């Protein structure tokens, strides 16, 4: 079956003052209709940039985007003229930004911003659009949605803004939702409600979801598959149960080990030593080698190849077979 | 017991809701903070959790005096700062700093990272250029960013990297208290662990106190001494973190803990997402009586009429006469956890 969204070997380079910044080196993402791919990984590993590149939202003056393939079901996004591509955004392909203020205009009431989406993409009447917007605000858990339509973004709490942005993305019932940490600013009860809403919509409309998160609990509840990013590359990809039960890449293992839990109060958390690679100075070998507890001489020789362990699972680690046996 | 460093007493913060284009008039009030009393002792970490929109950030801003209070008082280091003028606040703001929820807020887009971190030092301290550079490099290093970041611009950083810049800035003037408004929400777990360890080290080394506003109850349990739980502008439960998170007494705290996602995909699938039923109340029209009663499985008739006050209950305080009746001793009460 054709995936709802396929991103193959994406690379993104920014022109920096001190030379090029390789924000994304080799990222492939694929998600089927009605399924959820969670993208996790180190801060600065290229999650947001990958999503922005997929949406075609990076400034071509500053960013060079390359990809072997970029398709939305059967539409080749790389071949689309910019105007057609923009028409798809917000309609068939929708995004929730990590920072809600990126998509909210501080000078417009949120009601205006919500109804505009429907007026532009669906040619809805003002009145219809208003009704749908209010219903969607209610669905994402905004109380007194009527009154809140008149609020300006700064009058809402951080979590409310995040839900407004999610409401905006869901209004057109997109085929694919790209959500960059949509619940990070929410408390756990509202997080549960928002995630449930996404699940329900998915069940109804077969929406495919790419969910960037760093909350492994959210991953456990939402993901069918997980892609783990580190230093601009996907270091591991697996079905969710497999990933939690048998993480193959040392970074994935370290990630799962560093989750704070009430049981371990007072103990030091297992942080990964060292600093993440800056996009300016990537190490020549495996990107994780400088911080990896299992690094050996071979790890410094070059980038490890992507190995397929099964149709759903890939890993990039020279020593994964050895380590799995140990 | 160490002395109290900061104290909010019966603080109210109300925002007017205006309507009308030409002659805006107040049509309603958002009671964002509705009678909150909280103390933070020297070297103590107080967690503040609760529903999104319940007034956590506003409480933090009131403490910092970034937000004027409608009623109540704010004290810092024994001094009443409720109405302190700007000049007085200047001195306080080096002793009490903040990391904002929104990493954008701590990064001026037209300032290089190094200058952003140096800014509070320039305001409050006289250092030579070389000493300033060294201090900035040391601060960046403390939050896990190498020196090269000093020359970069905020838009070149990821969300988590910007958040760490905010922490470096907050540390710059050697404060006694930092209000941390979801400082780790934007970070991935391994950096979260680094930052939590860092915050833990700093408090041990320097006796720092924090007001730690967070959604991640695991992180709260890890870092905090005490925790306060807010619902719709009020504190509903406050006490030692092990007690409150280990055996929550207020029905909202219980619901909060039930909503924490599981970290095991099989168990997560089996249980599904636990959604707290009922409508999220509006601070414009708060429910009568206990604000939580419309969503509470344990509510009784009186919960609709009487607004419960916080009552001492063992080592904690709880605003629920059903799970924590005033006359009962903690030890005798069977509490569902
Ligand atoms: N416009 C830009 N110019 C130069 N470098 C950039 C730009 N945008 C991002 N980067 C760099 O690209 C890398 C990837 O950034 P990205 O925002 O994708 O990280 P992320 O994985 O989303 O991290 P986080 O979890 O912290 O949000 C980072 O090192 C960042 O500094
Ligand atoms: N400047 C303002 N004008 C009007 N209302 C405001 C203003 N600032 C905050 N509010 C309202 O006050 C209430 C509390 O907001 P606050 O930001 O303190 O919540 P919070 O607990 O920090 O939520 P979150 O977890 O989502 O960050 C919300 O209903 C919000 O809409
Ligand atoms: Mg990001
Ligand atoms: Mg807040």
| Cα B217 to Cα A11, B125, B212, distances in angstroms | 36, 37, 11
3-state helix, strand, coil split of chain B in percent (to 5) is 35, 25, 40
Residues of chain B with pLDDT under 50: 329-337
Share the mean pLDDT of chain A: 89
Of B96, B62, B29, the C-alpha closest to B230 is B62
Which residues numbered 190-229 in B keep a CB inside 8 Å of some CB on A?
190-194, 196-197, 200, 215-219, 221-222
How many domains is chain A partitioned into structurally?
A: 1
Full residue range of the structural domain in which residue A282 is found: 5-92+172-261+271-323
Which strand (E) or helix (H) includes residue A254? helix A250-257
Rounded-to-integer distance, Cα B75 and Cα B7, Å: 5
Say how many Å lie between the first and final Cα of chain A, rounded. Answer: 37
HEC-encoded secondary structure of A7-33:
EEEEEEEEEECCEEEEEEEEEEEEECC
For residue A185, report the distance from its CA to the centre of ligand 4, in Å: 8
Domain ranges of chain B: 4-95+175-318
Cβ B102–A42 below 8 Å, yes or no? no
User: DSSP characters for B60-129?
Assistant: HHHHTTSS--SEEEEEETTEE-TT--HHHHHHHHHHEEEE-SSGGGG--TTS-HHHHHHHHHHHH----H
How many CB pairs lie under 8 A apart between chains A and B?
208
Contact status, residue A269 vs residue B193, Cβ threshold 8 Å = yes
Rounded-to-integer distance, Cα B65 and Cα B82, Å: 7
How near does any CA of chain A get to the CA of B115, in Å? 17
Is A122 part of any domain?
no
Residues of chain A with pLDDT under 50: none
Is A113 part of any domain?
no
| pLDDT score of B61 | 95
Rounded-to-integer distance, Cα A310 and Cα A237, Å: 10
| pLDDT score of B329 | 46
Is residue B159 packed enough to be buried (19+ CB in 10 Å), middle (13-18) or exposed (0-12)?
A: buried
Q: Which chain A residue has the Cα nearest residue B58?
A: A157
In degrees to the nearest 10, what's the CA dihedral of A190, B66, B182, A107?
60
Token pair 């007194």 is at which residue? Answer: A144
Q: Encoding tokens for residue A103?
A: 């998509």
Q: What is the ipTM of this complex?
A: 0.80
Q: What is the pTM of this model?
A: 0.86
3-state DSSP assignment of residue B214: coil
3-state DSSP assignment of residue B37: strand
| pLDDT score of B333 | 46
For residue A101, report the distance from its CA to the centre of ligand 4, in Å: 14
Rounded-to-integer distance, Cα B201 and Cα B60, Å: 23
Token pair 């994780």 is at which residue? Answer: A288
Q: Which numbered atom of ligand 1 lies nearest the CA of A214?
A: 25
Tell me the pLDDT tens digit for each residue of A144-168: 899 889 999 888 887 788 889 999 9
CATH (residue range B4-95+175-318)? 3.40.50.300
Is A33 part of any domain?
yes
User: DSSP characters for B220-276?
Assistant: HHHH-SEEEEEETTEEEEEEEHHHHHHS--SHHHHHHHHHSPPS-HHHHHHH-----
Which residues numbered 59-88 in B keep a CB inside 8 Å of some CB on A?
none
Residues near B246 by beta carbon (within 8 Å), at least 6 away in sequence = A262, B337
| pLDDT score of A53 | 95
Which strand (E) or helix (H) includes residue B312? strand B311-313
């Amino acid at each position: 079956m054709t995936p709802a969204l396929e991103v193959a070997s994406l690379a993104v380079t920014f022109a920096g003052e001190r030379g090029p910044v390789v924000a994304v080196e080799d990222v492939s993402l694929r998600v089927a209709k009605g399924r959820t791919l969670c993208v996790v990984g180190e801060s600065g590993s290229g999650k947001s940039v990958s999503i922005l590149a997929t949406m075609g939202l990076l400034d071509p003056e500053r960013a060079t985007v390359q990809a072997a393939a970029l398709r939305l079901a059967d539409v080749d996004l790389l071949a689309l003229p910019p105007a057609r591509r923009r028409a798809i955004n917000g309609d068939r392909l929708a995004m929730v930004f990590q920072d809600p203020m990126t998509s909210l205009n501080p000078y417009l009431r949120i009601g205006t911003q919500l109804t505009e989406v429907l007026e532009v993409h669906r040619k809805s009447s003002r009145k219809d659009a208003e009704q749908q917007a209010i219903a969607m605000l209610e669905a994402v858990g905004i109380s007194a949605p009527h009154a809140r339509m008149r609020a300006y973004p700064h009058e809402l709490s951080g979590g409310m803004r995040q839900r407004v942005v999610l409401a905006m993305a869901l209004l057109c019932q997109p085929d694919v939702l790209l959500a960059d940490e949509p619940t990070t600013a929410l408390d756990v009860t509202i997080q549960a409600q928002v995630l449930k809403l996404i699940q329900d919509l998915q069940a109804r409309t077969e929406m495919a979801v790419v969910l960037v998160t760093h909350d492994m609990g959210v991953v456990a509840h939402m993901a069918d598959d997980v892609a783990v990013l580190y230093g601009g590359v996907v270091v591991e990809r697996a079905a969710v149960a497999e990933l939690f039960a048998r993480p193959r890449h040392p970074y994935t293992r370290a990630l799962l080990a560093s989750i704070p839990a009430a049981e371990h109060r007072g103990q030091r958390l297992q942080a990964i030593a060292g600093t993440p690679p800056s996009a300016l100075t990537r190490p020549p070998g495996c990107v994780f080698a400088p911080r990896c507890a299992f690094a050996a001489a071979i790890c410094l020789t070059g980038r490890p190849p992507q190995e397929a362990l099964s149709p759903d699972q890939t890993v990039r680690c020279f020593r994964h077979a050895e380590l799995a046996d140990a | 017991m160490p002395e109290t460093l900061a104290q909010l007493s019966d603080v109210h913060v109300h925002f007017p809701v205006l309507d009308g284009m030409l002659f805006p008039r107040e049509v309603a009030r958002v009671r964002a903070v509705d009678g909150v009393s909280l103390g933070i002792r020297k070297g103590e970490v107080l967690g503040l959790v609760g529903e999104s929109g319940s007034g956590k950030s506003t409480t933090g801003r009131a403490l910092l005096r970034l937000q004027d209070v409608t009623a109540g008082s704010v004290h810092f280091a024994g001094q009443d700062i409720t109405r302190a003028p700007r000049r007085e606040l200047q001195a306080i703001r080096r002793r009490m700093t903040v990391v904002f929820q929104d990493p954008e807020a701590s990064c001026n887009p037209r300032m290089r990272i190094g200058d952003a971190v140096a800014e509070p030092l320039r305001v409050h301290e006289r250092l030579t250029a070389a000493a300033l550079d060294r201090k900035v490099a040391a601060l960046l290093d403390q939050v896990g960013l190498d020196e090269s970041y000093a020359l970069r611009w905020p838009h070149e950083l990821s969300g988590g990297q910007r958040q760490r810049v905010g922490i470096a800035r907050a540390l710059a003037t050697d404060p006694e208290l930092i209000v941390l408004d979801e400082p780790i929400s934007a970070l991935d777990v391994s950096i979260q662990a680094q930052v939590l360890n860092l915050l833990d080290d700093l408090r041990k080394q320097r006796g720092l106190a924090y007001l730690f506003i967070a959604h991640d109850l695991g992180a709260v349990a890890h870092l905090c001494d005490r925790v306060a739980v807010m619902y719709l502008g009020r504190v509903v439960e406050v006490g030692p973190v092990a007690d409150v998170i280990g055996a929550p007494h207020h029905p909202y705290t219980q619901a909060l803990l039930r909503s924490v996602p599981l970290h095991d995909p099989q168990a997560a699938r089996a249980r599904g997402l636990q959604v707290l039923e009922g409508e999220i109340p509006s601070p414009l029209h708060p429910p009568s009586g206990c604000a939580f009663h419309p969503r509470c499985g344990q509510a009784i008739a009186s919960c609709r009429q009487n607004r419960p006050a916080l009552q001492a209950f063992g080592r904690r305080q709880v605003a629920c006469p059903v799970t924590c009746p005033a006359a009962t001793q903690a030890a005798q009460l069977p509490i569902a956890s």
